[in-house]
């Protein structure tokens, strides 16, 4: 290092930004002198923050009844996995399948789609590694790929890709396993092999290997991934015959069907008509434009993840009209904010943190997205809405955390929470006004891989 070069202040011993001891003593004295602060300390050190800060006016003033409620079934349970997007999608499809089958309770195999999602994403990852092989390994894009080469998360379009290509099977034909219900160890083994494969593929590209040689090595690694998945999750059925009794006692049996044939026969929803609508209020992301996120996907050659950014009143109106028409709504949100799991309640003001800490929390939705304070973390299903004077005031939510959470697995979302923490719904395109339907044809703006709009798939 030359004499003209300087080091960052944190490593050079520069005291200009240091925190003086006398300032710390002053902070302590100020805290101890305030009886409200001491009372808060006494409460929070002995009791959970959620209990101390719970806004009883909200918690016990919320009615859990709805003018429209579609659900008369039990909830599902994703267990210790990040498959919420998949469970929410399958819960929507089983709503249609129940009518086709004439049954009250029915589940598609979540494990079946999980298997195919993992192998497809391994291939997607390897293709991205080959495509980015000319970048340095510490390039931010490559580092992003290597940081999370495979996870349980996903998006609506990724769900549709799996159903279109691989179909569906009843849960009885590929039930849950230990690893499908608790995926951490399996995912760790898979990530190990994917990173190993990434290094080998990048080395081959650096040495100038032919495309067919690179492809052969990729296929070898995919064979290993398939073997690992089969050991953990079981082998997906290729054909099966399904028999059942309907709610009237009538007996039914199908001929032998492939999973693709089963999906086509019993899922009476026009999946090609659904589009992803998001509310992204960041100033640089205009409403009425389409967006995608680089390296967000699972099936190579499948449908791209494309969002149409719309304003919140329109998003809520589309969700309300869909429920009024008798169909649940898939949606993505930041579930960990202002939510009480045991009560099954979501409200913008559920926890009264400002008076507890004697401070204000001033980031709005756009700023929270920009500064990393919020992102899509969970997908669920709207199954009801309470409407007064043609305006929704609360929403009924089917979660996938089992029947012990909330009200037998269902949650109540007050409308204020929808505004602040809901980001996305899947809806039929004909719910949009003509100008926004036309906007769906625009080539999407490409957001970087680490953008919060891609967080649900991580």
164: number of Cβ within 10 Å: 15
* Tokens linked to 408: 């037998």
At 300, is the pLDDT very low, low, confident or very high (cuts 50, 70, 90)? very high
pLDDT value at residue 216: 98
β-pairing, 391-398 vs 410-414, is antiparallel
At 16, is the pLDDT very low, low, confident or very high (cuts 50, 70, 90)? confident
Asked if 268 and 125 count as a contact pair (C-beta separation under 8 A), the reply is no
- The strand pairing partners of 253, in sequence order, are 243
Phi-psi region of 380 (alpha: psi -120 to 50; beta: other; left: phi over 0): beta
Please give the Cα distance from 233 to 183 (Å, whole number).
10
* Tokens linked to 164: 């279109």
Mean pLDDT score of the chain, rounded to an integer?
Answer: 96
Q: Using CB atoms within 10 Å of the CB of residue 120, give its burial: 0 to 12 exposed, 13 to 18 middle, 19+ buried.
A: buried
pLDDT value at residue 6: 52
Q: Which tens digit of pLDDT belongs to each residue from 176-225?
A: 999 999 999 999 999 999 999 999 999 999 999 999 999 999 999 999 99
Average pLDDT over residues 447-452: 97
pLDDT value at residue 12: 56
Residue 4 has pLDDT above 80, yes or no: no
Asked if 278 and 308 count as a contact pair (C-beta separation under 8 A), the reply is yes
Phi-psi region of 356 (alpha: psi -120 to 50; beta: other; left: phi over 0): alpha
Q: Which tens digit of pLDDT belongs to each residue from 98-131?
A: 999 999 999 999 999 999 999 999 999 999 999 9
pLDDT value at residue 10: 54
Q: Which of 35, 24, 70, 84 is nearest to 457 (CA)?
A: 84
Asked if 437 and 429 count as a contact pair (C-beta separation under 8 A), the reply is yes
Average pLDDT over residues 330-359: 97
Residue 13 has pLDDT above 90, yes or no: no
pLDDT value at residue 7: 52
Please give the Cα distance from 114 to 206 (Å, whole number).
33
Please give the Cα distance from 173 to 263 (Å, whole number).
14
pLDDT value at residue 1: 46
Residues with catalytic function: 84, 378, 399
pLDDT value at residue 14: 72
At 75, is the pLDDT very low, low, confident or very high (cuts 50, 70, 90)? very high
Average pLDDT over residues 446-458: 96
Helix (H, G, I), strand (E, B) or coil at 328: coil
Helix (H, G, I), strand (E, B) or coil at 345: strand
Residue 8 has pLDDT above 70, yes or no: no
Distances (CA, A) of 151 to 83, 91, 403: 9, 21, 25
């Amino acid at each position: 290092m030359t004499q003209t070069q300087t080091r960052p202040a944190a490593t050079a011993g520069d005291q200009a930004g240091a925190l003086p001891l006398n300032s710390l003593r002053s902070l302590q004295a100020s805290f101890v002198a305030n009886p409200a602060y001491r009372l808060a300390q006494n409460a929070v050190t002995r009791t959970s923050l959620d209990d101390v800060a719970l806004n009883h006016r909200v918690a016990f003033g919320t009615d859990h009844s709805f003018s429209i409620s579609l659900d008369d079934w039990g909830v599902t349970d994703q267990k210790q996995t990040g498959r919420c997007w998949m469970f929410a999608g399958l819960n929507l499809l089983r709503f249609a399948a129940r009518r086709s089958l004439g049954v009250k309770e029915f589940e598609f195999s979540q494990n079946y789609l999980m298997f195919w999602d993992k192998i497809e994403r391994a291939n997607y990852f390897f293709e991205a590694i080959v495509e980015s092989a000319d970048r340095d390994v510490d390039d931010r894009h490559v580092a992003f790929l290597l940081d999370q080469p495979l996870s349980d998360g996903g998006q609506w379009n990724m769900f549709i890709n799996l159903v279109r290509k691989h179909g569906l099977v009843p849960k009885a034909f590929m039930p849950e396993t230990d690893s499908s219900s608790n995926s951490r160890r399996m995912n760790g083994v898979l990530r190990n092999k994917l990173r190993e494969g990434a290094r080998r593929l990048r080395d081959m590209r650096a040495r100038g290997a032919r495309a067919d040689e690179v492809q052969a090595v990729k296929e070898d690694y995919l064979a290993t991934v398939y073997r690992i998945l089969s050991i953990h999750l079981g082998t997906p059925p290729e054909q099966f015959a399904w028999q059942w009794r309907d709610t009237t006692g009538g007996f039914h049996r199908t001929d032998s069907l492939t999973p693709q044939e089963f999906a086509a026969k019993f899922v009476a929803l026009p999946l090609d008509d659904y589009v992803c609508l998001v509310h992204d209020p960041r100033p640089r992301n205009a409403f009425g434009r389409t967006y995608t996120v680089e390296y967000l996907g699972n099936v190579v050659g499948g449908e791209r993840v494309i969002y149409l950014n719309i304003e919140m009143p329109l998003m809520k109106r589309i969700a309300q009209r869909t429920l009024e028409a008798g169909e649940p709504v898939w949606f993505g949100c930041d579930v960990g904010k202002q939510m009480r799991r045991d009560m099954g309640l979501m409200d913008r003001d559920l926890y009264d943190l400002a008076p507890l800490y004697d401070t204000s929390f001033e980031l709005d939705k756009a700023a929270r997205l920009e500064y990393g304070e919020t992102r899509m973390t969970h997908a669920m299903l709207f199954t009801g809405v309470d409407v007064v004077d043609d305006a929704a005031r609360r929403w009924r939510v089917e979660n996938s955390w089992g029947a012990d959470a909330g009200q037998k697995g269902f949650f109540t979302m007050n409308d204020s929470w929808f505004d602040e923490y809901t980001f996305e719904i899947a809806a039929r395109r004909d719910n949009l006004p003509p100008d926004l339907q036309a906007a769906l044809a625009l080539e999407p703006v490409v957001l970087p891989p680490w953008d919060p709009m891609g967080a649900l798939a991580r």
